[in-house]
Structure 1
């Protein structure tokens, strides 16, 4: 396992290591996308979802009457439908339904709450296409995991029906970066340290936003808001400095009376699920996430009989 993870770390560092103060955002985004290869036989159908560029990703034979809405990670600054295409395709296969990937607006051009506005527009569009809330699930990684949670909190605040469930990978729930894992995992995390996380948060929030705003940092939601959330599965690598973002959030949800399971995967790094070709743990985790969502969408995962 260590050799495979080390190879992934080397790939990621080869990208971060090229970035300097004068590296443009456009170059960073292109470099990040180049890390990932879209493979497999899942279809990719671009669509404007409520004015937001998106795409339907469907593994062969999956159903189209339910949907997983996916928000990619990348610190709200990089990441795209391309960088997460394979992850979304594997999630579609595991859950047995289509995935709607969302290319929400990114910072620094578009700061908070632009991504949240895009997410809400996509869900409104999806409801307009005839999808009931019970037939929609959310998923996301890192910043996209936090965005999925913020979106559900916003829906609750508006009195709208919430999706059936959410699957979150290395979710960024605390833009104030207060978690104890920034200290306890500092030596183990090969990529993300507190100063980097704080810089990304400032870039996304701008000078006037509050890093403890629950719509940006769901960890700071009220007990009533947390209790209203649907069942959640949070996966995180045990080597991550943002480990506390998942574990503390899950504890708060449970304490408020909601359902949230947090799984810390031994030896794994930030969003290890994005490397299914190299890491068997990534494949296993995505399969578990797909099964979780399928169970809460009221149907068996792909390849399993309905009960």
Structure 2
């Protein structure tokens, strides 16, 4: 793994302008789109579709093996981002896993505050089941706010009496909108992207007057019993480090099989930088193996926790 690559990425991320006045929501959305968007990898076909009553992007690699399906929920603080901004990373994960993927354009705040995003995640998962896809053939993944939303969707599915999918992977999950994690403050200045005020602003837009410790908003406070095997990947250089660590710890305490990977010197959702950061490619490869491994065969239910790793309907039917 290249220290030079990590240092170069850190410098690039720190070079992003940060003005005294907070940009409008529309400016944040357009800026995020310009900064993050990457096209789907070569050989991955994309199609517009509808899932759970919401627009979605289907990504199909050239080499698909088996009936497995990946349901992805993108990051962006519940305020910005879309399946298009994440088409590159999701397509790369799908390509490595050999899975058809569908990325949901769930409703964003402030136009649609909590729990609209959770409702959309649950509706998308319910639609996959209604389309005849077996739960053991479904895996889920998400990053940042989408990582927290992925866990919240599984909690909502459990509450609705729906079966759980085969496995779930989350990248730099935002799991505590109360901002109680110690790294929110201890990693400020070390994190090249976020400061506490950024996260607080997103939480304000998403939650308004709602309870910030609600389990569907902050799943680090939830009972995670019964959730499927979980992979959590996070960078050591991010303010959300403790969200990931506490989420993994909560899962382990609730008898969920969980793997925690902390990448030294890495920023928030470093997986976006596949192809130019060795650690990103390695992390996506491990995530793909984790997800497909749980599709391929039954795994023991005893948990394990590892830290410090180097680490339906629509215009195009969902098949």
Query: In the TM superposition, what are the counterparts of 1:6-17 in structure 2 within 5 Å?
Result: 6-13=7-14, 15=16, 17=18
Q: 1:258 corresponds to which residue?
A: 256
1:305 aligns with none
The alpha carbon displacement at 1:182 in A equals 2.1
Question: What SS does the aligned partner of 1:31 have?
Answer: helix
Residue 219 of structure 2 corresponds to: 218
Aligned equivalents of 1:8, 1:18: Cα separation in 2 = 21
Q: Secondary structure at the match of 1:145?
A: helix
For 1:27, the equivalent position in structure 2 comes to: 27
- Give the Cα separation in 2 of the matches to 1:81 and 1:6: 28
Distance 2:116 2:14 in 1: 29
Say which SS state the counterpart of residue 75 (structure 1) adopts: coil
Please report how far the alpha carbon of residue 85 of structure 1 lies from its aligned counterpart in structure 2 after TM superposition: 0.7
- CA distance in 1 between counterparts of 2:108 and 2:15 reads 23
CA RMSD for the aligned pairs?
A: 1.8
Distance 1:13 1:105, change over 3 A: farther
Change in 2 beyond 3 A, CA 1:221/1:205: same
CA distance in 1 between partners of 2:265 and 2:52 (Å): 40
**How far 1:51 sits from its partner (Å)?**
1.4
Residue correspondences, number: 295
Is contact 1:64-1:98 (8 Å) kept? no
For 1:238 and 1:198, locate their aligned partners in 2 and report how far apart those are by CA, in whole Å. 21
Distance 1:56 1:289 in 2: 19
Q: CA deviation at 1:19?
A: 8.4
What residue in structure 2 maps to residue 107 of structure 1? 109
Q: What's the counterpart of residue 5 of structure 1?
A: 6
292, 295, 307: which one aligns with 1:294: 292
Which residue matches 1:182?
Answer: 184
Gaps of 5+ in 1: 301-307
Q: What is the CA distance between 1:191 and its match in structure 2?
A: 1.7
The superposition leaves residues 145-170 of structure 1 with CA deviations (integer Å, 9 ceiling, x where unpaired) of 00000000111111110111100000
Q: Please, which of 111, 114, 120 is the counterpart of residue 122 of structure 2? A: 120
Q: Is the 8 A contact 1:40 1:86 kept in 2?
A: no
Q: 1:40 aligns with which of 42, 52, 56?
A: 42
Q: Scaled by the length of structure 2, what TM-score is found? A: 0.87
State how far apart, in whole Å, the 2-side matches of 1:181 and 1:18 are.
24
1:172 aligns with 2:174: yes
For residues 247 and 146 of structure 1, the distance between their equivalents in structure 2, rounded to whole angstroms, comes to 13
Q: Partner of 2:90 in structure 1?
A: 88
Alignment of 1:244-283 (within 5 A): 244-283=242-281
| Displacement of 1:277 | 2.6
Distance 1:16 1:204, change over 3 A: farther
Q: CA deviation at 1:42?
A: 0.8
Contact 1:219 1:245 in 2 (8 A): yes
2:232 paired with 1:234: yes
Are the aligned partners of 1:58 and 1:98 in contact in 2 as well (CA < 8 Å)? Answer: yes
Gaps of 5+ in 2: 299-319
Q: The residue matched to 2:68 in structure 1 has which SS?
A: strand
Deviation at 1:10, TM superposition (A): 4.7
1:154-165 correspondence runs (5 A): 154-165=156-167
Q: Which moved more, 1:69-78 or 1:25-34?
A: 25-34
Report the TM-score, using the length of structure 1 for normalisation.
Answer: 0.91
